[in-house]
Amino acid sequence: MLIQNNVPLAPLTTLKVGGPAQYFVEAKTVAEVIEAVALGHSKNLPLFVLGGGSNLVISDAGWSGLVLRIAIPGMAERQEHGKIHFEVGAGEEWDNFVARAVARNCAGVECLSGIPGSVGGTPVQNVGAYGQEVADTIESVHALDLRENRERELSKDVCGFKYRTSIFNTTERGRFLILRVRYALQVGGTAHIAYADLKKHFFGWNEPPTLADTREAVRRIRASKGMLITPGDDNCRSAGSFFKNPVLSADSYEDLTKRATAKNLQVPSYPALDAQRKVSAAWLVEHSGFNRGYSAGRVGISSKHALAIVNRDQATASDVLALKDHIQQRVKDIWGIHLEPEPVFVGF
């Protein structure tokens, strides 16, 4: 196991901001993960687990402790009862797994194509897009339990998946290190075409789109919004969607619609959890004065997607947070809604 000192973390993230790690270890086996954890304990070092570096904002001071990058590889599969069960190492790139699943004609993750990051990060925030989320297909999560100092297999029900949350980022934050994830996908299943962007893309097709068609369409749509890592596209220096779509109670939604009506606007929304309403965070941002392409010095809003805060030119984490705070305050003042950030904040 190689232990490095003072390793810059910004190049390991999609946003490209943040200071160095005091200690850095890349673990490619479960044994190396366990060894790295023991090292951290022996030196009394705070531990941060780094995956693919997406959906992440690291402070300018970096991390005064141990950064552990879990790079466990591997994709194994077995077929049972009409489904293929994939066991995937936490270090595998997520989109590589999606490509493999689609190539095997397995439905369930095709709409999650093009999302950056590693497999190990997907259960943490219950990653989702275009009407699918990983909770739909996760069978279990194999993790190292730091509290009990042993490996454990956590079933889907134990993981507590909800909209962009799980036990891994709420009630049990910091307890588990994800090593592998098991997914159960439907062999020969139909593509999930539920969101407006996909329906528009396939409008007029004579045949139902295949899984491969859907994957290609999702990647193309994500690229058009700057949400696909594309060399040379400055809009890609981001942490992805920076704010969650707020889920409102009936009273809060009524208040929002009244405010919109007073401005001769209509709020786009769709039925969400229970009797609540999920509202477009992008709409709220754009109708608070932050149009696509908005600039605030070294940071700004993507020219392709209103929810992406982008690093325009050697921005700092402080620059990013200043714009985040500004957006949140304006949305609160105009619409009475507090936008919750989606990325993980490290070292603040």
pLDDT in tens, 221-252: 999 888 888 777 888 899 989 999 998 988 99
Of 287, 307, 325, 129, which Cα lies nearest the Cα of 235? 307
For 134-157, give one letter per residue: b (16+ CB within 10 A) or e.
bbbbbbbbbbbebeeeeeeebebe
Helix axes 317-335, 250-262, angle to 10 degrees: 80
CB–CB of 56/49 below 8 Å? no
76 phi, psi to nearest 5 deg? -110, 155
pLDDT for 177 equals 97
Task: Determine if residue 16 is left, alpha or beta; phi over 0 gives left, psi from -120 to 50 gives alpha, anything else beta.
Answer: left
Mean pLDDT of 260-276: 78
pLDDT for 54 equals 85
Mean pLDDT of 251-279: 83
DSSP classification of residue 181: E
- DSSP-based three-state secondary structure for 64: strand
Adjacency order of strands within the sheet including 47-50: 3-8, 20-27, 63-70, 47-50
pLDDT, tens only, 157-203: 999 999 889 999 999 999 999 999 999 999 999 999 988 899 999 99
pLDDT for 236 equals 84
- DSSP-based three-state secondary structure for 301: strand
% of residues, the chain, pLDDT over 90? 84
CA distances in angstroms from 78 to 92, 97, 182, 185, listed in the order given: 18, 15, 11, 11
- DSSP notation for 90-146: TTSBHHHHHHHHHHTTEESSGGGTT--SBGGGTTTTT-EETTEEGGGTEEEEEEEET
Distance CA 161, CA 298 (A): 36
pLDDT for 270 equals 67
Task: Determine if residue 44 is left, alpha or beta; phi over 0 gives left, psi from -120 to 50 gives alpha, anything else beta.
Answer: left
Task: Determine if residue 336 is left, alpha or beta; phi over 0 gives left, psi from -120 to 50 gives alpha, anything else beta.
Answer: left
- In this predicted structure, the answer to whether residue 55 has a pLDDT above a threshold of 80 is yes
Distance CA 228, CA 7 (A): 26
Positions annotated as catalytic residues are 164, 241, 342
Mean pLDDT of 139-159: 97
Show contacts of 190-195: CB within 8 Å, 24+ apart. 190/107, 191/107, 191/110, 191/111, 192/107, 192/110, 192/111, 192/130, 192/131, 192/132, 194/130, 194/131, 195/111, 195/130, 195/131
Task: Give the total residue count for the chain.
Answer: 348
Distance CA 124, CA 293 (A): 30
Of 109, 41, 123, 36, which Cα lies nearest the Cα of 71? 36
- In this predicted structure, the answer to whether residue 82 has a pLDDT above a threshold of 90 is no
% of residues, the chain, pLDDT over 70? 98
pLDDT, tens only, 278-311: 899 999 999 999 999 999 999 999 999 899 999 9
Average pLDDT in the chain: 93
